[in-house]
Amino acid sequence: MKRDFESILDECLQQLHSGQADVETCLARYPEQAAALRPLLQTASRLRAAPVPRPSPAAKAAGRQQLLLAVARRRQAQAQAPFASLRSRGQELAASLSWLLSPPKPARALVWAVAILLLLVVSGAGVVGVAARSSLDSPLYPVRLVSEQVQLFLTIDAEAKARLQVNLAQQHLAEIETLRQQGRLDSGVAGRAEALLADQERALQQAKAISGVSADVQEEIQAVLEAVRNERQTVQQVMLLTPTPRPTLPPKDKPTVTLTPSEVAKPLPSSTPKPAQPTATLPPVEPTPTPPWAPFGVPTVVTRPTGQADVTPTSIPPATLPPTPPPSAATATPPFAPPTMAPTVSPPTPLPPTATPLPPTATPVPANPVASNLRMSSSAGGGAVGSFPAGTGMAYAVFDYSNFTGQKLGVRVHDAQGNVIFNSGSQTYQGSGTQSFAVAAPGGAFPAGRYLTVLYGGEFAGTITSTFWQVEAGPPTPTPTPTPTPRAHGGGLWIWWVWSC
Amino acid sequence: MSEKASPGQDDKFSHALLSAGVAGENLSDGELIRRAQAYDSAAFAEIYDCHYEGVYTYVYCRVNNTHVAEDLAAEAFLRALEGIGSFQFRGVPIAAWLYRIAGNLVNDYFRVQARQDVVPLQDELLPTASNPSDIVERQFTYRRLQESLHELTDEQRQVVLLRFVQGLDIKDIAYVMGKPEGAIKSLQHRALSTMGRYLGKDSDEAGL
């Protein structure tokens, strides 16, 4: 009987849940159990109608970012399984040699001598020499990493070891930058590059901790460490912007390393000096919007294409930009128009060429896409403004993009409560240029406080970079204060958390 | 909650609930699982977007701590990524699989904590409403339900959360908790009885 009652109860609950019946209908169907069923069904109804706690958008976004990066790493680790296996074997080899550093004993000294002799023989055979010139997308690259490990192992002096580590990191850095500029950082290579940069970051941190290293070298390590971190974040951006490859695993019988004459003869990519290119960072936090999107007004699109740049706005009518008052014109009256938001487009202004001419190749490949220099400005395409005067009614979200081949980007602006006050929606980008979106204040003027602008993109709209800005309290000040674009960094999660609390 | 949510509530959340254990969802779940097993980022993004809030709510209602719930919910998806390769889709919704992972994480957390950490209700999590009287009413309802949940055993609480907050059916709850369906029905019955008594007593005292 008891089991029967529980089945009846569950049946009634199903009907309540699906909307097929209400409490009274269920009770009418089972008059004998009605007295017992009534309080239970009423409790269930109250439970269903009760509100539930919801996560913060920042936490949700951070978890999403973490998951998607983990997926990208996992996918690339799978694609480079032979590579990883060789590299780990190299690291095991280096680790197994470490016992030779213990106090010299005749037997160990002999083994050490034989090992060095063998290494010289192998070097003499030229394999290591060829591998030393291999690039990240070459099958010989693991051999190069092994030889670097051995080289570091054989360097006893702390100062020399630290310098060597710095030199190796600089070489890897330059090569990855070159690959990126040449558009050779596809999904698989980007994963290797990211893993390699992570290794270099760890190695540099260890080198920094070594006692007996001079202050000069310490400074050098710090500088390279920063560069490695920045490049790693840029590569992570490439990982997010690069479309997910469909699984095309190589056949299992495929040799892991194949040395063909063409690969041996493959020249090292020319190390052309890299143009100064601001790198975008990947903050761990992406405050996701609360759908449905509620942008205030229609975005004003301002595009400054260079060459083949071709921004494809979605659902944005052709428009012209209203004359933007110069910052000095700001007075007690809000300098910007209220958000009537008639979409306007400013005349295109060509950007100076940023790409270094590449050596001619048989099939020209576009460089990897980079979106950078996200900033808020008082004018379309203008410089960064970190703090806007009270009463500001409109600001511009501006970013630069280069080497895009149809990837999507979008901009969101959040207020201090995490609400989305502007969302441009995803748009497809081609080539290089600068994009500006006019962000109108809801109600005519931005309330004083902090705001967050997020540049998102890729096939699953991950955060590419973000920047904080603020609107001052009190009477309007005549000119906004230009500040460097705040760079998102690893502490962004905490900043967001403290700020949102 | 669920489809009876107030109009102001998040569409995405409703979607998360509707996607949990609803008939017809399994076919798309199977396809999603296949794509996820190839480490397709878009598939994982879809899984996360659909189920994060449900997983978070489930975890939060058990641990009663925002930060722990956020950590465990995020960890649940990373565990799902680790286990996706060996996951065999047999008609169990993704939501049920995720709740099972999250439930194991919560159990591990409790084992480490050695006791259930009941903290005061966090007001910032209370739902908002445009009408002040609505806010008061919702807060009151929420508090009473929270209190009545604490009258339950952990297993009963899990059944209530999975059944009435996440919208899973008995079969899927049995999968999540690793128990027979009959046991879940019994837990459901006892949980509703206990909560009904608590809430009824409350109504009597308040003259409602």
**pLDDT tens digits for range A328-372:** 333 333 333 333 333 333 444 444 444 444 444 445 555 777 888
Q: Note the pLDDT tens digit of each residue in A14-53.
A: 888 888 888 888 888 888 888 888 888 888 887 777 777 7
DSSP letter for each residue of B21-64: S-TTHHHHHHHHHHHHHTT-HHHHHHHHHHHHHHHHHHHHHHH-
Instruction: Indicate whether B72 pLDDT > 90.
Output: yes
Q: What is the pLDDT of residues A248-258, one digit of tens each?
A: 444 434 333 33
Q: Is pLDDT larger for residue A28 or for residue B142?
A: A28
Tokens of B182: 């009959």
CA distance A277 to A59: 31
Query: A-chain residues within 8 Å CB-CB of B208?
Result: none
Out of A119-128, B21-30, B38-47, pick the least confident.
B21-30
CB contact under 8 A, A54 and B57: yes
Query: How close A404 gets to chain B, by Cα (Å)?
Result: 20
Higher pLDDT, B135 or A161: A161
Mutation choice for A interface testing from B41, B82, B165, B172 by most A CBs within 10 A? B41
Where residue A128 falls among pLDDT bands split at 50, 70, 90? low
Q: How confident is the model at residue A459 (pLDDT cuts 50, 70, 90)?
A: low
**pLDDT above 50 (res A466):** yes
Quote the tokens at residue B138. 């919702």
Residue A394 corresponds to which amino acid?
M
A316: which residues sit within 8 A by CB, 6+ positions away? A298, A299, A301, A343
- Mean pLDDT over B144-150 rounds to 79
pLDDT tens digit sequence for A413-437: 887 766 778 888 888 888 888 999 9
Q: Is the dihedral of CA A127, A128, A129, A132 positive or negative?
A: positive
Average pLDDT over residues A228-255: 61
C-alpha to C-alpha distance for A405 and A428, rounded to whole angstroms: 9
Which of A49-58, A78-87, A270-279, B167-176 reaches the highest mean pLDDT?
B167-176
Mutation choice for B interface testing from A14, A47, A187, A238 by most B CBs within 10 A:
A47
Name the residue among A266, A323, A294, A318 with its Cα closest to residue A425. A294
- Whole-number average pLDDT of chain A: 67
- Tell me what pLDDT residue B81 has: 92
Tokens standing for B32?
């999603």
CA-angle at A488, arms to A440 and B12, nearest 5°: 60
B132: pLDDT strictly greater than 70:
no
Cα distance between residue B97 and residue B100, in whole Å: 5
Pairwise CB contact (< 8 Å): B3 & A55: no
- 3 state DSSP class of A335: coil
Between B190 and A254, name the one with better pLDDT. B190
Cβ pair A247:B38 closer than 8 A: yes
Which B positions 167-206 lie with beta carbon below 8 A of chain A?
167, 169-170, 182, 185-186, 188-189, 192-193, 195-196, 199-200
Cβ pair A72:B41 closer than 8 A: yes
User: Model-level pTM?
Assistant: 0.44
**Distance separating alpha carbons of residues B2 and A241, to the nearest angstrom:** 35
Among B69, B194, B161, smallest CA distance to B122 is for B69
Which pLDDT score is estimated for A255? Answer: 36
Q: Does the pLDDT of residue A396 top 90, yes or no?
A: yes
Residues in B closer than 8 angstroms to A39, CB to CB, are: 192-193, 196, 200
Which candidate, B170, B165, B200, places its Cα nearest to that of B16? Answer: B165
B166 vs A52, B94, B97, B124, B156, CA distance in Å? 10, 13, 13, 21, 14
Q: How many residues does chain B have?
A: 208
Backbone phi, then psi, for A85, in 5-degree steps? Answer: -65, -40
Residues of A in contact with B66 (CB under 8 A): 53, 56
Element (H, E) at A299: none
pLDDT of residue A297: 30
Measured distance CA(A213)–CA(A211) in Å, rounded: 6
What pLDDT digit, counting tens, does each position of A193-222 carry? 888 888 888 888 888 887 778 888 888 888
Least trusted range by pLDDT, from A108-112, A158-162, B112-116, B193-197 = B112-116
pLDDT of residue A39: 86
- Residue B149 — pLDDT band, cuts 50, 70, 90? confident
pLDDT at site B131: 52
Q: What is the ipTM of this complex?
A: 0.71
What angle (nearest 5°) sits at the alpha carbon of residue A456, between those of residues B80 and A173?
85
The pLDDT value given to residue A273: 40
Residue A215's pLDDT is: 83
DSSP A396-439: EEEEEEEEEEEEEEEEEEE-TTS-EEEE---EEEEEEEEEEEEE
Band (pLDDT 50/70/90 cuts) for residue B99 is: very high
- Residue A302: what pLDDT? 37
Q: CB of A390 within 8 A of CB of A479?
A: no
Lowest mean pLDDT, pick from A47-61, A98-112, A378-392: A98-112
Contact at CB, B42 and A459, closer than 8 angstroms: yes
pLDDT for residue A462: 67
Angle between helices B181-206 and B170-177 (to 10 degrees): 100
Q: Which of B81, B164, B198 to mutate to test the interface with A (most CBs of A within 10 A)?
A: B164
| Range with the largest mean pLDDT of A43-57, A75-89, A340-354, B16-30 | A43-57
Residue B50 CA to residue A152 CA, distance in Å, equals 48
Q: Which residues from chain B sit within 8 angstroms of residue A246, using beta carbons?
A: 38
Poorest-pLDDT segment among A120-134, A487-501, B128-142: A487-501
